[in-house]
Chain A
Amino acid sequence: MQLLGQDLVNGILAGGILAVVALGFSLVWGIMNIINLAHGAYIMLGAYLTYQLFQTFHLDPFLSLPVSFAALFVLGYLVQRLLINWVARAPVLTTFLLTFGLSLLLVNVALLIWTGDTRGVTTSYSGANFSIVGITIPWAKLYTLLVALAITGVMHVWLTRTKTGRAIRATSMDIGAAQLSGVRTAQIYAIVYGLSAGLAGVAGTLISLSYALTPTMGDPFLIKAFVVCVLGGLGSVQGALIGGIVYGIVEAFATQIDVTIGTQHISGSGLQDAIALVVLLIVLIVRPTGIAGKATA
Protein backbone atom coordinates (compact mmCIF):
# COMPACT_ATOMS: atom_id res chain seq x y z
CA MET A 1 0.00 0.00 0.00
CA GLN A 2 2.79 2.37 0.93
CA LEU A 3 4.63 1.36 -2.25
CA LEU A 4 1.52 2.14 -4.28
CA GLY A 5 1.29 5.55 -2.62
CA GLN A 6 4.93 6.24 -3.38
CA ASP A 7 4.45 5.32 -7.06
CA LEU A 8 1.40 7.55 -7.22
CA VAL A 9 3.27 10.52 -5.72
CA ASN A 10 6.28 9.93 -7.98
CA GLY A 11 3.94 9.87 -10.95
CA ILE A 12 2.25 13.14 -9.98
CA LEU A 13 5.61 14.84 -9.39
CA ALA A 14 6.98 13.66 -12.75
CA GLY A 15 3.68 14.68 -14.33
CA GLY A 16 4.30 18.32 -13.38
CA ILE A 17 7.37 18.43 -15.62
CA LEU A 18 5.55 16.59 -18.41
CA ALA A 19 2.75 19.16 -18.18
CA VAL A 20 5.13 22.07 -18.81
CA VAL A 21 6.80 20.15 -21.65
CA ALA A 22 3.44 19.38 -23.23
CA LEU A 23 2.02 22.87 -22.73
CA GLY A 24 4.55 24.46 -25.10
CA PHE A 25 4.29 21.55 -27.54
CA SER A 26 0.50 21.76 -27.49
CA LEU A 27 0.49 25.52 -28.24
CA VAL A 28 2.39 25.14 -31.51
CA TRP A 29 0.47 22.03 -32.52
CA GLY A 30 -2.97 23.37 -31.62
CA ILE A 31 -2.54 26.88 -32.97
CA MET A 32 -0.13 26.48 -35.90
CA ASN A 33 -0.95 22.84 -36.70
CA ILE A 34 2.76 22.02 -36.65
CA ILE A 35 4.38 19.11 -34.85
CA ASN A 36 7.51 20.76 -33.55
CA LEU A 37 10.22 18.11 -33.46
CA ALA A 38 12.69 20.76 -32.25
CA HIS A 39 10.83 21.03 -28.93
CA GLY A 40 13.16 18.49 -27.31
CA ALA A 41 16.18 20.51 -28.44
CA TYR A 42 14.75 23.68 -26.83
CA ILE A 43 14.29 21.76 -23.58
CA MET A 44 17.93 20.68 -23.78
CA LEU A 45 19.08 24.28 -24.40
CA GLY A 46 17.10 25.48 -21.38
CA ALA A 47 18.73 22.81 -19.23
CA TYR A 48 22.26 23.62 -20.41
CA LEU A 49 21.65 27.35 -19.97
CA THR A 50 20.67 26.65 -16.37
CA TYR A 51 23.76 24.48 -15.94
CA GLN A 52 26.02 27.21 -17.35
CA LEU A 53 24.51 29.96 -15.18
CA PHE A 54 24.83 27.71 -12.14
CA GLN A 55 28.47 26.88 -12.91
CA THR A 56 29.56 30.40 -13.81
CA PHE A 57 27.49 32.63 -11.50
CA HIS A 58 26.19 30.06 -8.95
CA LEU A 59 22.71 31.18 -9.89
CA ASP A 60 19.97 29.08 -8.31
CA PRO A 61 18.08 27.09 -11.00
CA PHE A 62 14.75 28.53 -9.84
CA LEU A 63 16.14 32.03 -10.35
CA SER A 64 17.28 31.17 -13.86
CA LEU A 65 13.71 30.27 -14.90
CA PRO A 66 13.04 33.77 -16.33
CA VAL A 67 16.41 33.77 -18.09
CA SER A 68 15.68 30.43 -19.78
CA PHE A 69 12.24 31.63 -20.77
CA ALA A 70 13.49 34.92 -22.24
CA ALA A 71 16.46 33.38 -24.09
CA LEU A 72 14.42 30.59 -25.64
CA PHE A 73 11.56 32.97 -26.45
CA VAL A 74 13.92 35.13 -28.51
CA LEU A 75 15.40 32.07 -30.23
CA GLY A 76 11.97 30.64 -31.01
CA TYR A 77 10.65 33.99 -32.25
CA LEU A 78 13.57 34.32 -34.68
CA VAL A 79 13.36 30.69 -35.87
CA GLN A 80 9.68 31.13 -36.66
CA ARG A 81 10.15 34.50 -38.38
CA LEU A 82 13.19 33.53 -40.45
CA LEU A 83 12.59 29.83 -41.21
CA ILE A 84 9.34 28.12 -40.29
CA ASN A 85 7.10 30.96 -41.45
CA TRP A 86 8.00 30.18 -45.07
CA VAL A 87 6.31 26.80 -44.84
CA ALA A 88 3.93 27.44 -41.91
CA ARG A 89 0.92 26.12 -43.80
CA ALA A 90 2.65 23.32 -45.73
CA PRO A 91 1.71 19.61 -45.41
CA VAL A 92 2.92 17.45 -42.52
CA LEU A 93 6.08 16.17 -44.17
CA THR A 94 7.56 19.64 -44.78
CA THR A 95 7.23 20.96 -41.24
CA PHE A 96 8.15 17.59 -39.76
CA LEU A 97 11.44 17.47 -41.65
CA LEU A 98 12.19 21.16 -41.15
CA THR A 99 11.83 20.98 -37.38
CA PHE A 100 13.76 17.69 -37.35
CA GLY A 101 16.62 19.37 -39.23
CA LEU A 102 16.53 22.28 -36.75
CA SER A 103 16.67 19.83 -33.87
CA LEU A 104 19.69 18.09 -35.40
CA LEU A 105 21.42 21.47 -35.80
CA LEU A 106 20.77 22.57 -32.21
CA VAL A 107 21.79 19.22 -30.70
CA ASN A 108 25.07 19.30 -32.61
CA VAL A 109 25.78 22.89 -31.63
CA ALA A 110 25.28 21.81 -28.00
CA LEU A 111 27.59 18.84 -28.62
CA LEU A 112 30.31 21.24 -29.82
CA ILE A 113 29.89 23.62 -26.86
CA TRP A 114 29.30 21.22 -23.96
CA THR A 115 30.56 17.89 -25.48
CA GLY A 116 28.66 14.64 -25.02
CA ASP A 117 29.68 14.21 -21.36
CA THR A 118 26.88 13.80 -18.86
CA ARG A 119 26.42 16.92 -16.69
CA GLY A 120 24.29 17.70 -13.70
CA VAL A 121 23.09 20.66 -11.65
CA THR A 122 23.71 19.87 -7.99
CA THR A 123 22.24 22.42 -5.60
CA SER A 124 22.33 22.46 -1.79
CA TYR A 125 18.78 21.08 -1.73
CA SER A 126 19.27 18.51 -4.52
CA GLY A 127 19.11 15.44 -2.29
CA ALA A 128 16.82 16.93 0.35
CA ASN A 129 13.39 15.42 0.92
CA PHE A 130 10.72 14.98 3.56
CA SER A 131 8.34 12.17 4.45
CA ILE A 132 4.60 12.09 5.03
CA VAL A 133 2.99 8.81 6.13
CA GLY A 134 6.03 6.95 4.86
CA ILE A 135 6.00 8.52 1.40
CA THR A 136 9.19 10.33 0.42
CA ILE A 137 8.86 13.64 -1.42
CA PRO A 138 11.96 15.43 -2.77
CA TRP A 139 11.72 19.20 -2.26
CA ALA A 140 13.08 19.99 -5.73
CA LYS A 141 10.34 17.95 -7.41
CA LEU A 142 7.64 19.46 -5.23
CA TYR A 143 8.75 23.01 -6.13
CA THR A 144 8.82 21.90 -9.76
CA LEU A 145 5.21 20.78 -9.57
CA LEU A 146 4.19 24.09 -7.96
CA VAL A 147 5.94 26.05 -10.72
CA ALA A 148 4.17 23.89 -13.31
CA LEU A 149 0.79 24.63 -11.71
CA ALA A 150 1.56 28.36 -11.59
CA ILE A 151 2.64 28.45 -15.24
CA THR A 152 -0.49 26.62 -16.37
CA GLY A 153 -2.64 29.11 -14.46
CA VAL A 154 -0.85 32.14 -15.90
CA MET A 155 -1.07 30.74 -19.43
CA HIS A 156 -4.78 30.05 -19.07
CA VAL A 157 -5.52 33.60 -17.87
CA TRP A 158 -3.26 35.14 -20.50
CA LEU A 159 -4.86 33.22 -23.38
CA THR A 160 -8.43 34.04 -22.31
CA ARG A 161 -8.17 37.57 -20.86
CA THR A 162 -5.62 39.54 -22.87
CA LYS A 163 -5.90 41.01 -26.34
CA THR A 164 -2.91 39.04 -27.66
CA GLY A 165 -4.30 35.87 -26.12
CA ARG A 166 -7.62 36.39 -27.88
CA ALA A 167 -5.84 37.09 -31.16
CA ILE A 168 -3.94 33.82 -30.75
CA ARG A 169 -7.12 31.86 -30.17
CA ALA A 170 -8.80 33.58 -33.10
CA THR A 171 -5.89 32.63 -35.37
CA SER A 172 -6.15 29.01 -34.33
CA MET A 173 -9.88 28.92 -35.04
CA ASP A 174 -9.79 30.46 -38.51
CA ILE A 175 -6.63 32.04 -39.83
CA GLY A 176 -8.41 33.70 -42.77
CA ALA A 177 -11.09 35.29 -40.63
CA ALA A 178 -8.47 36.43 -38.12
CA GLN A 179 -6.52 38.14 -40.90
CA LEU A 180 -9.67 39.89 -42.10
CA SER A 181 -10.28 41.15 -38.55
CA GLY A 182 -6.88 42.81 -38.57
CA VAL A 183 -4.82 40.18 -36.75
CA ARG A 184 -1.23 40.09 -38.02
CA THR A 185 -1.03 36.31 -38.18
CA ALA A 186 2.67 36.06 -39.01
CA GLN A 187 3.38 38.08 -35.85
CA ILE A 188 0.97 35.88 -33.85
CA TYR A 189 2.66 32.71 -35.12
CA ALA A 190 6.07 34.09 -34.12
CA ILE A 191 4.78 34.95 -30.62
CA VAL A 192 3.22 31.51 -30.23
CA TYR A 193 6.35 29.71 -31.39
CA GLY A 194 8.53 31.91 -29.17
CA LEU A 195 6.25 31.25 -26.22
CA SER A 196 6.38 27.52 -26.88
CA ALA A 197 10.18 27.57 -27.03
CA GLY A 198 10.25 29.70 -23.87
CA LEU A 199 8.10 27.15 -22.06
CA ALA A 200 10.43 24.40 -23.31
CA GLY A 201 13.30 26.41 -21.81
CA VAL A 202 11.45 26.59 -18.50
CA ALA A 203 10.84 22.84 -18.67
CA GLY A 204 14.57 22.36 -19.35
CA THR A 205 15.47 24.34 -16.25
CA LEU A 206 13.06 22.28 -14.14
CA ILE A 207 14.33 19.03 -15.67
CA SER A 208 17.97 19.95 -14.97
CA LEU A 209 17.17 19.71 -11.23
CA SER A 210 16.26 16.03 -11.33
CA TYR A 211 17.74 14.56 -14.53
CA ALA A 212 21.22 14.22 -16.05
CA LEU A 213 22.16 16.55 -18.92
CA THR A 214 23.27 15.32 -22.36
CA PRO A 215 22.76 16.98 -25.76
CA THR A 216 20.10 14.39 -26.68
CA MET A 217 18.27 14.56 -23.34
CA GLY A 218 15.26 16.22 -24.98
CA ASP A 219 14.43 13.30 -27.30
CA PRO A 220 12.56 11.07 -24.82
CA PHE A 221 10.36 14.02 -23.87
CA LEU A 222 9.24 14.59 -27.45
CA ILE A 223 7.14 11.45 -27.92
CA LYS A 224 5.84 11.80 -24.36
CA ALA A 225 4.77 15.39 -25.10
CA PHE A 226 2.81 14.11 -28.05
CA VAL A 227 1.10 11.40 -26.03
CA VAL A 228 0.32 13.86 -23.21
CA CYS A 229 -1.28 16.28 -25.69
CA VAL A 230 -3.44 13.52 -27.17
CA LEU A 231 -4.28 12.24 -23.70
CA GLY A 232 -5.25 15.63 -22.27
CA GLY A 233 -6.94 17.00 -25.36
CA LEU A 234 -5.14 19.04 -27.99
CA GLY A 235 -4.99 22.83 -27.72
CA SER A 236 -6.26 22.96 -24.17
CA VAL A 237 -4.15 24.46 -21.37
CA GLN A 238 -5.83 22.43 -18.63
CA GLY A 239 -5.58 19.37 -20.89
CA ALA A 240 -1.78 19.55 -20.86
CA LEU A 241 -1.77 19.63 -17.06
CA ILE A 242 -4.28 16.81 -16.63
CA GLY A 243 -2.67 14.74 -19.41
CA GLY A 244 0.79 15.31 -17.95
CA ILE A 245 -0.18 14.15 -14.49
CA VAL A 246 -2.23 11.17 -15.73
CA TYR A 247 0.63 10.09 -17.99
CA GLY A 248 3.14 10.59 -15.18
CA ILE A 249 1.13 8.24 -12.99
CA VAL A 250 0.66 5.64 -15.77
CA GLU A 251 4.38 5.66 -16.48
CA ALA A 252 5.32 5.45 -12.78
CA PHE A 253 3.27 2.28 -12.44
CA ALA A 254 4.14 0.76 -15.83
CA THR A 255 7.89 1.07 -15.28
CA GLN A 256 7.50 -0.93 -12.04
CA ILE A 257 6.40 -4.01 -13.98
CA ASP A 258 8.92 -6.82 -13.79
CA VAL A 259 8.32 -10.16 -15.50
CA THR A 260 10.63 -13.11 -15.86
CA ILE A 261 9.81 -15.74 -18.49
CA GLY A 262 12.33 -18.59 -18.44
CA THR A 263 15.73 -16.93 -18.59
CA GLN A 264 14.31 -13.77 -20.16
CA HIS A 265 13.87 -10.89 -17.76
CA ILE A 266 11.55 -8.11 -18.90
CA SER A 267 11.55 -4.84 -16.99
CA GLY A 268 9.09 -2.03 -17.59
CA SER A 269 11.74 0.62 -17.01
CA GLY A 270 13.47 -0.33 -20.28
CA LEU A 271 10.27 -0.11 -22.27
CA GLN A 272 9.29 3.56 -21.84
CA ASP A 273 8.72 4.15 -25.56
CA ALA A 274 6.66 0.98 -25.90
CA ILE A 275 4.52 2.14 -22.97
CA ALA A 276 4.04 5.54 -24.64
CA LEU A 277 2.96 3.90 -27.90
CA VAL A 278 0.45 1.63 -26.17
CA VAL A 279 -1.07 4.57 -24.25
CA LEU A 280 -1.21 6.60 -27.46
CA LEU A 281 -3.00 3.91 -29.45
CA ILE A 282 -5.47 3.18 -26.66
CA VAL A 283 -6.39 6.85 -26.25
CA LEU A 284 -6.72 7.38 -30.00
CA ILE A 285 -9.04 4.41 -30.29
CA VAL A 286 -11.09 4.88 -27.11
CA ARG A 287 -11.28 8.65 -26.71
CA PRO A 288 -9.63 10.51 -29.62
CA THR A 289 -10.55 13.95 -28.22
CA GLY A 290 -8.63 13.37 -25.01
CA ILE A 291 -9.72 13.84 -21.42
CA ALA A 292 -10.36 17.60 -21.52
CA GLY A 293 -10.82 18.03 -25.28
CA LYS A 294 -14.06 18.79 -27.03
CA ALA A 295 -15.27 16.88 -30.04
CA THR A 296 -14.34 18.66 -33.28
CA ALA A 297 -14.92 17.95 -36.94
Chain B
Amino acid sequence: MALLLAVPLTHNGYIEIVFRNILMYATMAYGWNMIGGYTGYVSFGQVAFFGLGAYCSAVLSQFGVDNLLADVLVACAVNGGFAVLVGLPVLQLKGHYFAIATLGVALALTDIIANLDALGGTAGMRLRQVDEAHFSVYYYAMWIVALAAILATYFIARSKLGYAFVAIRENEDAAAVLGISPRRYKITAWAISAMMAGSAGAVFAPANGFLDPSIGFSVDSNVFPIVMALLGGIGTVAGPFIGAIILAGANELLQRYFIKIHTLFFGAMIVLVVLLLPRGLVWLFGLRGGVRTWLKSLTEYKA
Protein backbone atom coordinates (compact mmCIF):
# COMPACT_ATOMS: atom_id res chain seq x y z
CA MET B 1 0.00 0.00 0.00
CA ALA B 2 2.82 2.39 0.89
CA LEU B 3 4.49 1.46 -2.41
CA LEU B 4 1.44 2.75 -4.27
CA LEU B 5 2.13 6.23 -2.88
CA ALA B 6 5.09 6.42 -5.26
CA VAL B 7 3.00 5.96 -8.41
CA PRO B 8 2.56 9.71 -9.20
CA LEU B 9 6.35 10.07 -9.16
CA THR B 10 6.42 8.29 -12.54
CA HIS B 11 4.80 11.42 -14.01
CA ASN B 12 2.92 9.12 -16.35
CA GLY B 13 -0.75 10.07 -16.55
CA TYR B 14 -1.80 6.71 -17.95
CA ILE B 15 -0.15 4.68 -15.18
CA GLU B 16 -1.56 7.02 -12.57
CA ILE B 17 -5.12 6.50 -13.84
CA VAL B 18 -4.65 2.71 -13.97
CA PHE B 19 -3.52 2.62 -10.37
CA ARG B 20 -6.15 5.11 -9.28
CA ASN B 21 -8.76 2.77 -10.74
CA ILE B 22 -7.22 -0.15 -8.86
CA LEU B 23 -7.53 1.83 -5.61
CA MET B 24 -11.10 2.82 -6.50
CA TYR B 25 -12.20 -0.74 -7.19
CA ALA B 26 -10.38 -1.92 -4.07
CA THR B 27 -12.33 0.59 -1.95
CA MET B 28 -15.59 -0.64 -3.45
CA ALA B 29 -14.53 -4.26 -2.94
CA TYR B 30 -13.98 -3.48 0.76
CA GLY B 31 -17.42 -1.89 0.85
CA TRP B 32 -19.01 -4.99 -0.68
CA ASN B 33 -16.96 -7.23 1.64
CA MET B 34 -18.47 -5.56 4.70
CA ILE B 35 -22.08 -6.45 3.83
CA GLY B 36 -21.55 -9.41 1.45
CA GLY B 37 -18.47 -10.96 3.08
CA TYR B 38 -18.67 -10.36 6.82
CA THR B 39 -22.42 -10.01 7.26
CA GLY B 40 -23.31 -12.59 4.59
CA TYR B 41 -25.89 -10.47 2.76
CA VAL B 42 -24.93 -10.79 -0.91
CA SER B 43 -25.66 -7.39 -2.41
CA PHE B 44 -25.80 -7.01 -6.16
CA GLY B 45 -26.39 -3.28 -6.21
CA GLN B 46 -23.44 -1.58 -4.47
CA VAL B 47 -22.98 0.55 -7.58
CA ALA B 48 -26.01 2.53 -6.35
CA PHE B 49 -23.85 3.93 -3.55
CA PHE B 50 -20.87 4.54 -5.81
CA GLY B 51 -23.07 6.47 -8.22
CA LEU B 52 -24.80 8.39 -5.45
CA GLY B 53 -21.41 9.45 -4.04
CA ALA B 54 -20.28 10.54 -7.48
CA TYR B 55 -23.46 12.59 -7.97
CA CYS B 56 -22.90 14.26 -4.56
CA SER B 57 -19.59 15.61 -5.86
CA ALA B 58 -21.18 16.66 -9.14
CA VAL B 59 -23.92 18.61 -7.37
CA LEU B 60 -21.41 20.25 -4.99
CA SER B 61 -19.34 21.26 -8.00
CA GLN B 62 -22.43 22.95 -9.49
CA PHE B 63 -22.66 25.02 -6.32
CA GLY B 64 -19.01 26.00 -6.62
CA VAL B 65 -17.72 23.67 -3.92
CA ASP B 66 -14.65 21.89 -5.28
CA ASN B 67 -13.13 20.48 -2.15
CA LEU B 68 -12.41 16.74 -2.12
CA LEU B 69 -12.74 16.50 1.66
CA ALA B 70 -16.16 18.16 1.52
CA ASP B 71 -17.11 15.84 -1.35
CA VAL B 72 -16.24 12.73 0.63
CA LEU B 73 -17.92 13.93 3.83
CA VAL B 74 -21.14 14.88 2.06
CA ALA B 75 -21.11 11.59 0.11
CA CYS B 76 -20.72 9.65 3.38
CA ALA B 77 -23.59 11.51 5.01
CA VAL B 78 -25.93 11.15 2.02
CA ASN B 79 -25.01 7.49 1.49
CA GLY B 80 -25.40 6.67 5.17
CA GLY B 81 -28.87 8.19 5.20
CA PHE B 82 -29.87 6.55 1.92
CA ALA B 83 -28.57 3.17 3.14
CA VAL B 84 -30.65 3.33 6.31
CA LEU B 85 -33.74 4.38 4.36
CA VAL B 86 -33.41 1.65 1.73
CA GLY B 87 -32.08 -0.88 4.23
CA LEU B 88 -35.22 -0.83 6.37
CA PRO B 89 -37.32 -2.71 3.77
CA VAL B 90 -34.57 -4.38 1.72
CA LEU B 91 -32.56 -5.88 4.59
CA GLN B 92 -35.67 -7.79 5.68
CA LEU B 93 -35.12 -9.96 2.63
CA LYS B 94 -32.67 -12.84 2.45
CA GLY B 95 -30.67 -14.74 -0.15
CA HIS B 96 -31.90 -14.47 -3.73
CA TYR B 97 -34.55 -11.94 -2.79
CA PHE B 98 -32.05 -9.60 -1.16
CA ALA B 99 -29.65 -9.90 -4.11
CA ILE B 100 -32.31 -9.06 -6.69
CA ALA B 101 -33.85 -6.29 -4.57
CA THR B 102 -30.44 -4.59 -4.27
CA LEU B 103 -29.98 -4.94 -8.02
CA GLY B 104 -33.42 -3.38 -8.37
CA VAL B 105 -32.39 -0.45 -6.13
CA ALA B 106 -29.37 0.23 -8.35
CA LEU B 107 -31.41 0.04 -11.57
CA ALA B 108 -34.23 2.16 -10.14
CA LEU B 109 -31.83 4.86 -8.93
CA THR B 110 -30.19 4.91 -12.38
CA ASP B 111 -33.64 5.33 -13.97
CA ILE B 112 -34.58 8.15 -11.62
CA ILE B 113 -31.35 10.12 -12.03
CA ALA B 114 -31.45 9.66 -15.81
CA ASN B 115 -34.90 11.30 -15.73
CA LEU B 116 -33.98 14.27 -13.50
CA ASP B 117 -33.06 17.31 -15.59
CA ALA B 118 -31.53 19.02 -12.54
CA LEU B 119 -28.90 16.25 -12.45
CA GLY B 120 -28.16 16.46 -16.15
CA GLY B 121 -30.42 13.53 -17.10
CA THR B 122 -28.84 11.15 -19.61
CA ALA B 123 -26.69 13.99 -21.01
CA GLY B 124 -24.61 14.12 -17.83
CA MET B 125 -22.77 16.87 -15.95
CA ARG B 126 -19.31 18.43 -16.17
CA LEU B 127 -17.24 18.95 -13.03
CA ARG B 128 -14.54 21.58 -12.52
CA GLN B 129 -11.08 20.06 -12.20
CA VAL B 130 -7.78 21.28 -10.77
CA ASP B 131 -5.13 22.39 -13.26
CA GLU B 132 -2.96 19.69 -14.78
CA ALA B 133 0.09 20.35 -12.59
CA HIS B 134 -1.86 19.35 -9.49
CA PHE B 135 -3.70 16.43 -11.06
CA SER B 136 -2.10 13.92 -8.70
CA VAL B 137 -4.24 15.28 -5.88
CA TYR B 138 -7.01 12.97 -7.11
CA TYR B 139 -4.65 10.02 -6.93
CA TYR B 140 -3.61 10.80 -3.36
CA ALA B 141 -7.24 11.36 -2.37
CA MET B 142 -8.19 7.93 -3.74
CA TRP B 143 -5.23 6.43 -1.93
CA ILE B 144 -6.41 7.91 1.37
CA VAL B 145 -9.98 6.70 0.78
CA ALA B 146 -8.71 3.17 0.02
CA LEU B 147 -6.45 3.19 3.08
CA ALA B 148 -9.36 4.32 5.25
CA ALA B 149 -11.48 1.43 3.90
CA ILE B 150 -8.72 -1.10 4.63
CA LEU B 151 -8.07 0.24 8.14
CA ALA B 152 -11.78 0.39 8.91
CA THR B 153 -12.16 -3.23 7.80
CA TYR B 154 -9.10 -4.26 9.83
CA PHE B 155 -10.35 -2.69 13.04
CA ILE B 156 -14.01 -3.66 12.58
CA ALA B 157 -13.03 -7.29 11.90
CA ARG B 158 -11.30 -7.37 15.31
CA SER B 159 -14.02 -5.54 17.21
CA LYS B 160 -17.29 -6.55 18.81
CA LEU B 161 -19.04 -4.99 15.82
CA GLY B 162 -17.22 -7.30 13.39
CA TYR B 163 -18.01 -10.38 15.48
CA ALA B 164 -21.67 -9.34 15.51
CA PHE B 165 -21.61 -9.15 11.68
CA VAL B 166 -20.07 -12.62 11.42
CA ALA B 167 -22.56 -13.98 13.96
CA ILE B 168 -25.41 -12.73 11.75
CA ARG B 169 -23.78 -14.36 8.71
CA GLU B 170 -23.37 -17.71 10.44
CA ASN B 171 -26.80 -17.85 12.05
CA GLU B 172 -29.09 -14.88 12.30
CA ASP B 173 -31.53 -16.48 14.75
CA ALA B 174 -28.78 -17.61 17.09
CA ALA B 175 -27.27 -14.12 16.97
CA ALA B 176 -30.62 -12.63 17.93
CA VAL B 177 -30.87 -15.03 20.87
CA LEU B 178 -27.43 -13.86 22.04
CA GLY B 179 -28.72 -10.30 22.17
CA ILE B 180 -27.33 -9.08 18.83
CA SER B 181 -30.13 -7.15 17.16
CA PRO B 182 -29.86 -8.40 13.56
CA ARG B 183 -31.75 -5.44 12.20
CA ARG B 184 -29.55 -2.80 13.80
CA TYR B 185 -26.27 -4.52 12.93
CA LYS B 186 -27.31 -5.34 9.38
CA ILE B 187 -28.15 -1.70 8.76
CA THR B 188 -24.86 -0.65 10.35
CA ALA B 189 -22.87 -2.97 8.05
CA TRP B 190 -24.91 -1.83 5.05
CA ALA B 191 -24.34 1.86 5.91
CA ILE B 192 -20.59 1.37 6.38
CA SER B 193 -20.35 -0.42 3.05
CA ALA B 194 -22.42 2.35 1.43
CA MET B 195 -20.03 5.00 2.79
CA MET B 196 -17.00 3.16 1.40
CA ALA B 197 -18.52 2.87 -2.09
CA GLY B 198 -19.78 6.45 -1.87
CA SER B 199 -16.35 7.84 -0.93
CA ALA B 200 -14.81 6.10 -3.95
CA GLY B 201 -17.51 7.66 -6.13
CA ALA B 202 -17.06 11.08 -4.55
CA VAL B 203 -13.37 11.15 -5.53
CA PHE B 204 -13.93 9.46 -8.89
CA ALA B 205 -16.39 12.06 -10.24
CA PRO B 206 -14.13 15.15 -10.02
CA ALA B 207 -11.10 13.09 -11.10
CA ASN B 208 -13.03 11.99 -14.19
CA GLY B 209 -14.36 15.50 -14.79
CA PHE B 210 -17.61 14.24 -16.29
CA LEU B 211 -20.48 12.17 -14.95
CA ASP B 212 -23.58 10.62 -16.52
CA PRO B 213 -25.77 7.69 -15.39
CA SER B 214 -23.93 5.16 -17.57
CA ILE B 215 -20.58 6.11 -15.98
CA GLY B 216 -21.86 6.51 -12.41
CA PHE B 217 -23.91 3.30 -12.46
CA SER B 218 -21.91 1.10 -14.84
CA VAL B 219 -22.21 -2.68 -14.75
CA ASP B 220 -18.42 -2.86 -14.35
CA SER B 221 -18.48 -0.84 -11.13
CA ASN B 222 -21.22 -3.13 -9.87
CA VAL B 223 -19.63 -6.49 -10.58
CA PHE B 224 -15.86 -5.86 -10.55
CA PRO B 225 -15.75 -5.31 -6.75
CA ILE B 226 -17.68 -8.52 -6.05
CA VAL B 227 -15.41 -10.64 -8.26
CA MET B 228 -12.36 -8.96 -6.71
CA ALA B 229 -13.53 -9.77 -3.19
CA LEU B 230 -14.30 -13.34 -4.28
CA LEU B 231 -10.93 -13.80 -6.00
CA GLY B 232 -9.01 -12.50 -2.98
CA GLY B 233 -11.23 -14.13 -0.39
CA ILE B 234 -14.53 -12.88 0.94
CA GLY B 235 -14.76 -12.02 4.62
CA THR B 236 -10.99 -11.43 4.89
CA VAL B 237 -9.05 -8.19 5.43
CA ALA B 238 -6.40 -8.75 2.72
CA GLY B 239 -8.64 -10.44 0.13
CA PRO B 240 -10.28 -7.50 -1.63
CA PHE B 241 -6.95 -5.70 -2.06
CA ILE B 242 -5.23 -8.76 -3.58
CA GLY B 243 -8.24 -9.38 -5.81
CA ALA B 244 -8.38 -5.75 -6.93
CA ILE B 245 -4.71 -5.64 -7.95
CA ILE B 246 -4.90 -8.89 -9.93
CA LEU B 247 -8.26 -8.34 -11.58
CA ALA B 248 -7.95 -4.62 -12.38
CA GLY B 249 -4.41 -5.24 -13.63
CA ALA B 250 -5.52 -8.14 -15.83
CA ASN B 251 -8.48 -6.14 -17.12
CA GLU B 252 -6.23 -3.21 -18.02
CA LEU B 253 -3.85 -5.46 -19.98
CA LEU B 254 -6.73 -7.19 -21.78
CA GLN B 255 -8.27 -3.85 -22.64
CA ARG B 256 -4.96 -2.68 -24.03
CA TYR B 257 -4.13 -5.67 -26.18
CA PHE B 258 -7.56 -7.11 -27.03
CA ILE B 259 -9.68 -3.98 -27.20
CA LYS B 260 -12.54 -5.66 -29.06
CA ILE B 261 -12.94 -8.83 -27.05
CA HIS B 262 -11.76 -7.89 -23.57
CA THR B 263 -15.25 -8.14 -22.03
CA LEU B 264 -15.40 -11.65 -23.49
CA PHE B 265 -12.25 -12.49 -21.55
CA PHE B 266 -13.72 -10.86 -18.48
CA GLY B 267 -16.82 -13.07 -18.66
CA ALA B 268 -14.59 -16.11 -19.00
CA MET B 269 -12.47 -14.91 -16.09
CA ILE B 270 -15.53 -14.67 -13.82
CA VAL B 271 -16.58 -18.21 -14.78
CA LEU B 272 -13.09 -19.54 -14.05
CA VAL B 273 -12.72 -17.74 -10.71
CA VAL B 274 -16.11 -19.01 -9.53
CA LEU B 275 -15.41 -22.60 -10.58
CA LEU B 276 -11.73 -22.87 -9.62
CA LEU B 277 -11.25 -20.46 -6.72
CA PRO B 278 -14.60 -20.21 -4.95
CA ARG B 279 -12.91 -19.49 -1.63
CA GLY B 280 -10.31 -17.08 -2.90
CA LEU B 281 -6.55 -16.77 -2.87
CA VAL B 282 -6.20 -16.07 0.86
CA TRP B 283 -7.76 -19.49 1.52
CA LEU B 284 -5.60 -21.14 -1.16
CA PHE B 285 -2.36 -19.76 0.35
CA GLY B 286 -3.29 -21.09 3.77
CA LEU B 287 -4.42 -24.47 2.41
CA ARG B 288 -2.80 -27.62 3.74
CA GLY B 289 -2.93 -30.85 1.76
CA GLY B 290 -1.90 -29.56 -1.66
CA VAL B 291 -3.58 -30.07 -5.01
CA ARG B 292 -5.69 -33.01 -3.92
CA THR B 293 -7.49 -31.07 -1.17
CA TRP B 294 -8.03 -28.21 -3.60
CA LEU B 295 -9.52 -30.50 -6.27
CA LYS B 296 -11.71 -32.17 -3.68
CA SER B 297 -13.04 -28.80 -2.51
CA LEU B 298 -14.22 -28.06 -6.05
CA THR B 299 -16.79 -30.87 -6.05
CA GLU B 300 -18.28 -29.89 -2.69
CA TYR B 301 -21.44 -28.37 -4.16
CA LYS B 302 -21.84 -30.76 -7.10
CA ALA B 303 -25.41 -31.88 -7.72
Contact = CB atoms under 8 A, between A and B. Distances in A.
Same complex origin of A and B: yes
A88 B303 contact: yes
A281 B234 CA distance: 28
Contacts of B114: 270
A101 B96 contact: no
Nearest to A234: B96
Contacts of A223: 100, 103-104, 107
A233 to B, nearest CB: 14
With most chain B CB atoms within 10 A of its CB, the pick from A33, A85, A97, A276 is A97
A267 B115 contact: yes
Contacts of A157: none
A289 interface: no
Contact of A90 (B100, B261, B270, B301): B301
Counting contact residues on chain A (CB < 8 A from B), the size range is 35 or more
Contacts of B175: none
A83 B110 CA distance: 32
Interface in A255-297: 263-267, 270-274, 276-278, 280-281, 284-285
B108 interface: yes
B1 to A, nearest CB: 26
Contacts of A93: 36, 42, 226, 230, 234
B263 interface: yes
Contacts of A264: 116-118
B100 A35 contact: yes
A86 B263 contact: no
Interface stretch (B71-79, B189-197, B271-279): B271-279
Interface residues of B, number: 50
A119 to B, nearest CB: 19
Contact of B275 (A29, A98, A226, A273): A98
Contacts of B290: none
B111 interface: yes
Contact of A94 (B93, B100, B105, B278): B278
B202 interface: no
A287 to B, nearest CB: 14
A186 B96 CA distance: 22
Interface string B202-224: 00000000000000000000010
A87 to B, nearest CB: 5
A271 B101 CA distance: 16
B213 to A, nearest CB: 11
A109 B264 CA distance: 7
A271 B111 contact: yes
Contacts of A94: 274, 278, 301
Given A101-B269, A270-B111, A277-B108, 15 more contacts: A87-B275, A88-B301, A93-B36, A94-B301, A97-B230, A97-B270, A98-B275, A106-B267, A107-B267, A108-B267, A185-B303, A189-B303, A263-B117, A274-B112, A281-B90
Interface of B: 36, 42, 44, 89-90, 93, 95-97, 99-101, 103-105, 107-108, 110-112, 114-118, 223, 226-227, 230, 234, 260-261, 263-264, 266-271, 273-275, 278, 298-303
Closest 8 CB pairs of A and B: A101-B270, A104-B267, A88-B303, A105-B267, A273-B107, A277-B104, A90-B301, A274-B108
14 contacts: A87-B275, A92-B99, A93-B226, A96-B44, A101-B269, A105-B268, A105-B271, A106-B267, A186-B302, A264-B118, A267-B115, A270-B114, A271-B111, A273-B110
